[in-house]
Structure 1
Amino acid sequence: MKKFALIGAAGYIAPRHLKAIKETGNDLVVAMDINDSVGIMDSHFPDAEFFTEFEQFSGFVEDLKQKGEKLDYVAICSPNYLHLPHMKFALQNGIDVICEKPLVLQTEDLDILKRYESQHGAKVNSILQLRLHPSIIALRDKVAAAPAGKVFDVDLTYLTSRGKWYLKSWKGFDEKSGGVATNIGVHFYDMLHFIFGKILHNEVHYRDEKTSCGFLRYERANVRWFLSIDANHLPDNAVQGEKLTYRSIDIEGEELEFSGGFTDLHTQSYQRILAGQGYGVEDNRAAIETVVEMRNAPIVNNPTNAHPLLAKVKGAQA
């Protein structure tokens, strides 16, 4: 039984980590969040210690180490801009990391993590759960089996409505979240790299606080992409659930169906990590480089490879 800590226990994604720790037969020793709405812990690890201040949490972890009871893993579900310092803390204490996406916000941060891994003998593992989805693995196999030189035409569309709270939270500030393309899209760009290979070209056609779209060329695909948290862009057939959502990946007229099958992917990710098969720092580089470039790229006006929804956005502004 491995001993875990969890940073960001009140966050949206934390329950999936609590469930994964439990389902892999391990123990949560301590958790931390500046917010105290963490009653979810009671249904998984009611005896775990909990702190609302990082100084108290770090002192507890370091005391365990001094007593010879060092933790095995720190799971990190904190806001994006805190991932790097929280990972550095774990690595400095010789504790392996399991971190949510995006692993970091800047490409150079990946190199910092590699130095920390080398210096302190601990490892970073990341949650890249789409790589484990059966439909995505099947598509990757299909692309690999296609004739050499075949380049697929792909439309990626992801709209997930968010209320007014979103832009007032840390997610609404690019320096904290990385912006829309990073915060809700980085795992899609990892998926595209995973399926279609090396990225060759990256251009942005539109970018504001709620919406971003553009064009990507990979070794095996030309991808028109559109991401938004603006409910005004949702089509009539958006899925009514916890929030109105529309997700589509169209490969030359054929829809990739991957709306289901997500419930156990965090647990599968943990199983791989515990078996020494987790995705590490370098596995994240292509996607992080992609979103950093999107954040800073000049806008291409009147593009030749525009996503169909770009006209709707520009029409609404006219």
Structure 2
Amino acid sequence: MSATVRAAFIGGGFMARVHTRASRAAGAELVALTSSTPDSAAAAARSLGVQRSAPTVQDLTSEPDFDVVHICSPNHLHAEHTLAALKAGAHVICEKPLATTAAAAAELTRAAQQAGRIAAVPFVYRYHPQIRQARFRISQGQLGQLLTLDASYLQDWLLDADDVNWRTRTADGGASRAFADIGSHLCDLIEFVTGRRIRRLTARTRTVHGQRRDTTVTNEDIAAVLVELSNGALGSLLISQTAPGRKNSLTLEMHGTKESLRFEQERPEELWIGSRRGSRVELRDPDTAGPDASRLPSLPAGHPLGYQDAFTAFVTDVYAAMRGAHPEGLPTFSDGLRAARLTEAVLASAAADGAWQETPYGDPNPTE
């Protein structure tokens, strides 16, 4: 690999803008981009400051002048584009969901392992320092035994029947929308922060608008899920893309025998710590944080960090792994596969009128 990481991009929409900003901030050279058409690829490359555009994915991968490919294309193309990038010898960062089925996600995970490439999925909320601080407190026993959790991820961008996006088309977005798109982030955080897997779940889903303009919609707008973790802790999850006024409201609250912890993604500098004898809000401060929380911030305390900063920290870790490092908490294709399996369990439970679904998987080690 070259001294400077050379990055290529598949896709030219919103997530490509996020990825290119993060890649540039992480010190990469942005060498190539392709999109849905040659014209859109050329326009996106100019707009995003990428050196060249390629008319198609085949054209991009036939000239592998890159070390890593960021895949920001629609969900149904992730598997095809990931395999093309791996075949070209590249490391891969693939947007979630990793694939629209667990079987396809498993195939991609195996392919990346066989290719010996770094393969990551941007579960970037792991990269808020206060999430790492919550994880540290739990790993040190400060929460006590985890008893319950209350979590939600609420948005309103698909509130009205006139709100249309390619994700609402099952052929492009997949059989699940709200849960696969944002509920997967919530479940990843639950398992990452607590160090406990979701052992089983029961779910109900709802499609609020079965017709959006000329699109018949079959994937869900809302999912309500009850979970049981591997230690017996119980939790409730509410996921909605039709919650008026909620733009990107991810909230995770955990209750233990010693204290409670609450993180809100729209207030990422804060971690609420509750106890019977008083509660407080702990602000991000690398000088007093745990070692993993203190390594992530690019700015000192008092200078607010947000979503793009978390994304940059994630991409920086991926690039470090490509050079042989082993960064703490890097989300890989195995985590993307886990999310795909949980998504299928939610759909199966909803289809069976809320029947409990087992989701066996060994606990992650919260100190690894």
Match of 1:7 among 10, 13, 16: 10
Q: Is the 8 A contact 1:71 1:95 kept in 2?
A: yes
Counterparts of 1:21-170 in structure 2, within 5 Å, are: 21-34=23-36, 36=40, 41-42=45-46, 44-45=48-49, 47-51=51-55, 54=56, 57-62=57-62, 64-65=63-64, 70-146=65-141, 150-163=145-158, 164=160, 168-170=164-166
Match in the other structure for 1:18:
20
Match of 2:182 among 181, 184, 187: 184
Match in the other structure for 1:225:
237
Instruction: For 2:112 and 2:70, locate their aligned partners in 1 and report how far apart those are by CA, in whole Å.
Output: 16
Counterparts of 1:241-252 in structure 2, within 5 Å, are: 244-252=247-255
Instruction: For 2:240 and 2:140, locate their aligned partners in 1 and report how far apart those are by CA, in whole Å.
Output: 33
Match of 1:193 among 191, 194, 197: 191
Match in the other structure for 2:262:
255
User: Aligned with 1:263: secondary structure?
Assistant: helix
Letter in 2 for 1:217: E
Match in the other structure for 2:273:
none
Q: Which shifted more, 80-89 or 179-188?
A: 179-188
Match in the other structure for 1:270:
315
Instruction: For 2:102 and 2:236, locate their aligned partners in 1 and report how far apart those are by CA, in whole Å.
Output: 24
Alignment TM-score, normalising by the size of structure 1: 0.79
Sequence identity percentage? 22
Q: Cα 1:38–1:250, aligned 2, differ >3 Å: closer, same or farther?
A: farther
Instruction: For 1:286 and 1:133, locate their aligned partners in 2 and report how far apart those are by CA, in whole Å.
Output: 21
Gaps of 5+ in 1: 304-318
Gaps of 5+ in 2: 208-219, 269-305, 322-326, 357-368
Instruction: For 2:162 and 2:313, locate their aligned partners in 1 and report how far apart those are by CA, in whole Å.
Output: 29
Q: Cα 1:151–1:175, aligned 2, differ >3 Å: closer, same or farther?
A: farther
User: Aligned with 1:201: secondary structure?
Assistant: strand
For residue 205 of structure 1, report the CA deviation from its aligned partner.
3.0
Instruction: For 1:48 and 1:131, locate their aligned partners in 2 and report how far apart those are by CA, in whole Å.
Output: 32
The CA deviation string for residues 198-229 of structure 1, in whole angstroms up to 9 with x for no partner, is: 11111103333311111011135422011111
Q: Which shifted more, 276-285 or 215-224?
A: 276-285
* Aligned pairs, number: 283
Match in the other structure for 1:307:
none
Instruction: For 1:37 and 1:59, locate their aligned partners in 2 and report how far apart those are by CA, in whole Å.
Output: 12
Q: Is the 8 A contact 2:33 2:50 kept in 1?
A: no
Instruction: For 1:14 and 1:272, locate their aligned partners in 2 and report how far apart those are by CA, in whole Å.
Output: 18
The CA deviation string for residues 17-62 of structure 1, in whole angstroms up to 9 with x for no partner, is: 11112112222221111262875644642532243xx3xx412431
Q: Cα 1:147–1:122, aligned 2, differ >3 Å: closer, same or farther?
A: closer
Match in the other structure for 1:314:
none
1:205 and 2:204 matched: yes
Instruction: For 1:82 and 1:110, locate their aligned partners in 2 and report how far apart those are by CA, in whole Å.
Output: 12
Match in the other structure for 1:288:
340
Q: Is the 8 A contact 1:105 1:288 kept in 2?
A: yes
Match in the other structure for 1:299:
353
User: Aligned with 2:185: secondary structure?
Assistant: helix
Q: Is the 8 A contact 1:173 1:179 kept in 2?
A: no
Letter in 2 for 1:263: Q
Match in the other structure for 2:299:
none
Instruction: For 1:123 and 1:145, locate their aligned partners in 2 and report how far apart those are by CA, in whole Å.
Output: 30
For residue 7 of structure 1, report the CA deviation from its aligned partner.
0.6
For residue 143 of structure 1, report the CA deviation from its aligned partner.
2.3
User: Aligned with 1:187: secondary structure?
Assistant: helix
Instruction: For 1:157 and 1:282, locate their aligned partners in 2 and report how far apart those are by CA, in whole Å.
Output: 23
Instruction: For 1:123 and 1:254, locate their aligned partners in 2 and report how far apart those are by CA, in whole Å.
Output: 33
Instruction: For 1:118 and 1:147, locate their aligned partners in 2 and report how far apart those are by CA, in whole Å.
Output: 36
Instruction: For 2:121 and 2:200, locate their aligned partners in 1 and report how far apart those are by CA, in whole Å.
Output: 25
Q: Is the 8 A contact 1:101 1:187 kept in 2?
A: no
For residue 15 of structure 1, report the CA deviation from its aligned partner.
1.1
Q: Which shifted more, 106-115 or 291-300?
A: 106-115
Q: Which shifted more, 27-36 or 142-151?
A: 142-151
Q: Is the 8 A contact 1:102 1:187 kept in 2?
A: no
